[in-house]
Every structure is written in structure tokens, then in C-alpha cells.
């Protein structure tokens, strides 16, 4: 029996992307990546990285150093209780600086070559597999190979002229939830036969009644009413999904001490400004008190901005 697999892009999906990585020390796992791989493995999936590595073709990194980088990735995952089954990469690019890597390749995404090669070498059922990545070329490669696809992207809107993924996620943690939900719905459909199948089985075990033997019930709903109810149900379901999608970033965002401190300082700034207004409206106001309050507000505001900037850099 063929295995099912999660194919994963490397940069910005499993490890942080700061441009072309050319040293093992630059490898840093995306938050939640190791835990996500563990959950995928628990669901019975093989885990395979498929990555375009044009940095090799551009002379930025050698294949020997790339192997060290991938060994560092495996080490970090192992330290967090996760592992990969295999890593495939494509070093070729049509505009390569190094001649031996200068060519078009079916392995370079959006071509599905790496996925097809893995399927052949590792006996993978592509129809039961997923491709997860942060770019449209990942989505296209997965679709062309026959996989279901998840695009990790903060934008909920599809790009014009680009392939549409089966699902969108704000990070790999939400991707795990999507696949879990898919498994749950698949298990439910296996346990509970379709409505039409249930009716068919009942017809085989019960006598067939003609209209003259069993008149229509007075309370039976007309077809137009059924269609109207179905349309309303579909509309309400769509509204619920839209509300869920608008809260995704907050649902899967990370708690941040810097952000909390910035928020607290911002509240104190507002309090200082209120005190300043009170001093200004006071009949026996003193300019020194007003200036002190404004000074505190300005200093605290600078602190809040500093915390926000530090948080952004940390991300």
C-alpha cells in the first residue's frame, strides 16, 4: 500500500528566511515547525522537504555547504522531537552563474519533478498527499503532481492569474489544523453513509408503496421551500467562514512580552495626556506642571515605539 506524504517547502515554511542562507549557523526553525511535523507524523504522513536552491546555481553556496545546512535543520528538528524522511532540492536555474547548473529543470518548482521523483522512489500516493509552502510555485507544483495544497500566506485574497490553493493558512500551525479537520471529515464520511445510500438501503428492506397506498403528508415541504432553506443555510455558513477568516491572525498569533509592555506604556501615555488637559483647564494652573506631564507623555510614547520596533525585529 502506498504511503501518504506531507511535502514541505523549506524557507519560510520550516526555517526562517533571511535571504540566501549560506551557513549552518543561520538556520533557525519557524515557531511551531517541529511540533507541526510531529503532529503530521502522528497522522501517518511521511515528511519530505522539496526546495528550490538557486543559491547553488548562483555560486552563493556550494552543495557541500548546503548539505551541512540541511544536517543542521535535521539536528534542530531532532532536538525538538521531530524528523524528516527525506530532503529533495533543485540546484539548477536557467540564469545560473556556474555553467553546470545553468539549465531548465523539471525538478525546479513550479514543475512537479521533485514530488514525482519522491513518489516513485518512496512509493507515495500523491492523491492522499499535501504540498505546503509559502509561494505560488509551491502551490502549482503540488497541484500538477496531484496533491492537495496549502498556501502559507497572511493575505486572504488570491493573486490575479496565480493558481488557487485548496486551503490558505497564516502559519504552519494553522496548516496542521486544516489537515486535522480534513481527516475528521473523511473519517465521518466513512462511518456515516451518504443520505442517498441510506435511502437506497431502506428501499431494499422495506416494501415499495405507491402513491395510492400512502398519500402525501399534509405537512410535506414543497421543493421551493426546501431550496430556500438550503440557500439560507449556505449563506449563513459562508458568513461564519468569513468571520473566522478575519480573526485568523489573532487566533494563531504569538504572545509577546514586548507587545504587552508597549500596550501598557501606551495606556500610561494616555493617562499623562489626560492629566495635562486637567492642568490646562485648572483655574490656578502652573505651566511647570503642564510641561512635566507632557514630558512624561513624550518619554513614555518613545518607550512604546521602541517596544513595538523591538517586537517587529524579533519577528
Decide: helix, strand or coil at residue 15: strand
Q: Of the residues 3, 9, 138, 190, which is catalytic?
A: 9
C-alpha of 278 from chain center = 49
Is 9 catalytic? The answer is: yes
What are the φ/ψ torsions at residue 234 (nearest 5 degrees)?
A: -65, -40
What are the φ/ψ torsions at residue 147 (nearest 5 degrees)?
A: -90, 160
Helix/strand/coil percentages in the chain, nearest 5: 55, 10, 35
- What is d(CA 108, CA 137) in angstroms, rounded to the nearest whole number? 9
44 neighbors 180 (Cβ within 8 angstroms): no
What are the φ/ψ torsions at residue 193 (nearest 5 degrees)?
A: -65, 155
Q: Of the residues 11, 85, 187, 224, which is catalytic?
A: 11
81 is written with which cell numbers? Answer: 522531537
Q: How many CA atoms lie within 13 A of 217 on its CB side?
A: 4
What residue ranges in the chain does DSSP mark as E strands? 5-8, 46-52, 86-90, 130-133, 148-152, 167-169
What are the φ/ψ torsions at residue 258 (nearest 5 degrees)?
A: -60, -45
Q: Please, where are the H alpha helices in 212-251? A: 223-246, 248-251
With the CA atoms of 139, 140, 144 and 150 taken in that order, what torsion angle do they form, in degrees rounded to the nearest 10? Answer: 10
Catalytic sites, residue numbers: 9, 11
Amino acid at each position: 500500500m502506498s504511503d501518504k506524504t506531507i511535502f514541505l517547502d523549506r524557507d519560510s515554511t520550516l526555517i526562517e528566511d533571511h535571504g540566501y542562507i549560506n551557513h549552518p549557523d543561520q538556520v533557525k526553525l519557524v515557531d511551531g515547525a517541529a511540533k507541526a511535523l510531529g503532529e503530521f507524523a502522528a497522522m501517518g504522513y511521511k515528511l519530505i522537504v522539496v526546495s528550490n536552491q538557486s543559491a547553488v546555481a548562483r555560486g552563493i553556496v556550494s552543495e557541500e555547504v548546503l548539505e551541512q545546512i540541511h544536517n543542521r535543520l535535521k539536528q534542530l528538528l531532532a532536538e525538538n522531537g521531530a524528523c524528516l524522511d527525506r530532503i529533495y532540492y533543485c540546484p539548477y536555474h536557467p540564469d545560473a552563474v556556474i555553467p553546470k547548473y545553468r539549465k531548465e529543470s523539471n525538478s525546479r518548482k513550479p514543475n512537479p519533478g521533485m514530488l514525482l521523483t519522491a513518489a516513485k522512489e518512496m512509493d507515495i500516493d500523491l492523491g492522499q498527499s499535501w504540498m505546503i509552502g509559502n509561494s505560488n510555485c509551491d502551490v502549482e507544483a503540488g497541484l500538477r503532481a496531484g496533491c492537495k495544497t496549502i498556501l502559507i500566506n497572511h493575505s486572504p485574497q488570491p493573486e490575479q492569474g496565480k493558481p488557487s490553493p485548496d486551503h490558505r493558512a497564516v502559519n504552519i500551525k494553522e496548516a496542521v489544523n486544516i489537515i486535522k479537520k480534513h481527516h475528521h471529515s473523511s473519517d465521518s464520511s466513512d462511518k456515516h453513509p451518504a443520505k442517498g445510500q441510506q435511502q437506497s438501503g431502506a428501499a431494499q428492506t422495506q416494501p415499495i408503496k405507491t402513491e395510492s397506498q400512502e398519500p402525501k403528508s399534509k405537512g410535506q415541504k414543497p421543493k421551493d421551500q426546501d431550496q430556500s432553506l438550503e440557500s439560507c443555510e449556505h449563506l449563513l455558513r459562508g458568513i461564519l467562514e468569513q468571520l473566522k477568516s478575519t480573526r485568523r491572525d489573532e487566533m494563531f498569533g504569538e504572545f509577546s512580552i514586548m507587545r504587552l509592555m508597549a500596550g501598557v506604556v501606551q495606556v500610561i501615555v494616555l493617562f499623562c495626556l489626560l492629566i495635562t488637559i486637567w492642568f490646562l483647564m485648572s483655574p490656578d494652573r502652573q505651566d511647570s506642571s503642564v510641561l512635566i506631564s507632557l514630558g512624561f507623555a513624550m518619554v513614555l510614547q518613545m518607550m512604546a515605539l521602541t517596544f513595538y520596533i523591538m517586537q517587529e525585529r524579533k519577528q
